[in-house]
């Protein structure tokens, strides 16, 4: 819910009535990128996070294109130091056809991906934000946007009121601001559920993606001793067994599930707010750009907010620019994913009662009861 026109008593939480340039909700890659970019350019930033750190989150494999962003944020050297695995290519098996896809090259040599545990990346980004003078409010129990005359003017953090020129929602799939405004994200696919887990050991291919009529699976060596896997089967929402290639490796914890139905917030920006990362839109992990998109959208939102604060553009103009940019990205991702899935299974958009999972290393197995719920 939105708090409207806070009382005089609540207003005493303001520090001298000062207005913060930017309040960022969520300290994942999207939120930290926004906070860092803004702080580097002299903006006064408040970074708010509900969870304690460090947190266990998936998303450890980064395309070489993310290097430029890490350099802009001032964290590349530390990321590089901690990235124990740097693949030159990934192995792809599509409908039984195997290929090796290199990431590319330039005058400096071949491009290499970066593999880094998300807990480490989150800490690197958070420390960088703190070094730049970003005010941290971690953890907190409740954050509520403050609205007046149709505009968000601040946030209520556990009963303390902070006024701000802009709010950036980087809350991830909680979609904090969209839900506070009483809206729902708009679905663009049937229900899709991805499952993921971790194992101790090594695999021969540092990145491996296999797709067939049942769906897809992904495996990667994310450190010298840890392998991650993710799978998505069309119409199936029951916890699967790990892929055969890692079935003999000891598991690190239990298999987790995530709703990765393609969806987008009905409004991605307004004259006083931006919605970034997974809070803005979600596609399934086969798009391969979740963390890249999180960081780019956070930086773009901070850039547009700074432009408005500097008088270079109106708040309405920077909001429209951001909204157009993000909607085009969502459309591109979903068109590309749908094209891939159409080649795998023409009726993938239809929920199925049973999916037969074929794997070259296993006998066929039936995965039944797709509507069964799962727990993390």
Enumerate the domain spans of the chain. Answer: 3-60+117-188+262-337, 88-113+190-260+347-376
Q: What are phi and psi of 102, to 5 degrees?
A: -75, 155
Fold of domain 3-60+117-188+262-337: FAD/NAD(P)-binding domain (3.50.50)
pTM of the model: 0.88
In the predicted model, residues of the chain with pLDDT beneath 70 are 1-18, 351-376
pLDDT score for 364: 26
pLDDT score for 356: 31
User: Which residues contact residue 147 at a Cβ distance below 8 angstroms, ignoring those fewer than 6 apart?
Assistant: 2, 3, 4, 153
- Dihedral of CA atoms 66, 67, 70, 74 in degrees, nearest 10, equals -170
Cis peptide before 184 (omega within 30 of 0): no
CA distance 288 to 134: 30
**Domain 88-113+190-260+347-376 CATH class label:** alpha beta
pLDDT score for 367: 26
What are the helix (H) ranges across the chain?
A: 8-11, 29-40, 67-72, 76-82, 118-131, 176-180, 277-280, 290-309, 315-344
CA distance 153 to 4: 10
- Dihedral of CA atoms 109, 113, 119, 125 in degrees, nearest 10, equals 50
- Dihedral of CA atoms 168, 171, 173, 176 in degrees, nearest 10, equals -80
């Amino acid at each position: 819910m939105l708090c409207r026109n806070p009382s005089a008593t609540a207003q005493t939480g303001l520090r001298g009535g000062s207005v913060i340039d930017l309040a960022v909700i969520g300290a994942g890659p999207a939120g930290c990128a926004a906070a860092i970019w803004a702080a580097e350019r002299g903006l006064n930033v408040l970074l708010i996070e509900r969870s304690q750190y460090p947190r266990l989150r998936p998303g450890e494999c980064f395309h070489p294109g993310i290097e430029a962003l890490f350099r802009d944020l001032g964290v590349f050297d530390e990321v590089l130091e901690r990235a124990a695995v740097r693949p030159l290519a990934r192995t792809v098996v599509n409908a039984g056809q195997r290929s090796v896809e290199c990431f590319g090259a330039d005058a400096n040599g071949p491009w290499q991906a970066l593999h880094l545990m998300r807990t480490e990346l989150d800490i690197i980004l958070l420390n960088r934000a703190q070094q730049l003078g970003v005010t941290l409010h971690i953890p907190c129990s409740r954050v509520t946007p403050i609205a007046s005359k149709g505009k968000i003017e601040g946030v209520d953090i556990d009963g303390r009121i902070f006024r701000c020129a802009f709010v950036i929602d980087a809350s991830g799939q909680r979609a904090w601001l969209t839900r506070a405004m009483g809206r729902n994200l708009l679905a663009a696919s049937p229900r899709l559920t991805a499952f993921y887990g971790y194992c101790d050991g090594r695999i021969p291919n540092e990145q491996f993606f296999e797709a067939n009529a049942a769906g897809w699976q992904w495996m990667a060596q994310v450190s010298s001793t840890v392998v991650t896997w993710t799978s998505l089967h069309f119409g199936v929402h029951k916890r699967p067994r790990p892929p055969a290639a890692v079935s003999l490796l000891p598991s690190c914890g239990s298999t987790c599930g995530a709703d990765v139905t393609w969806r987008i917030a009905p409004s991605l920006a307004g004259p006083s707010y931006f919605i970034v990362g997974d809070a803005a839109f979600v596609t399934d992990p086969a798009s391969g750009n979740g963390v890249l998109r999180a960081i780019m959208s956070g930086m773009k939102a901070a850039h547009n907010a700074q432009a408005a604060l500097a008088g270079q553009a109106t708040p309405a103009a920077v909001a429209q620019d951001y909204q157009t940019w993000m909607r085009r990205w969502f459309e591109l991702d979903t068109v590309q994913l749908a094209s891939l899935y159409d080649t795998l299974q023409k009726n993938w958009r239809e929920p199925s009662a049973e999916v037969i999972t074929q794997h070259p290393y296993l006998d066929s197995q039936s995965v039944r009861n797709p509507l069964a719920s799962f727990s993390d």
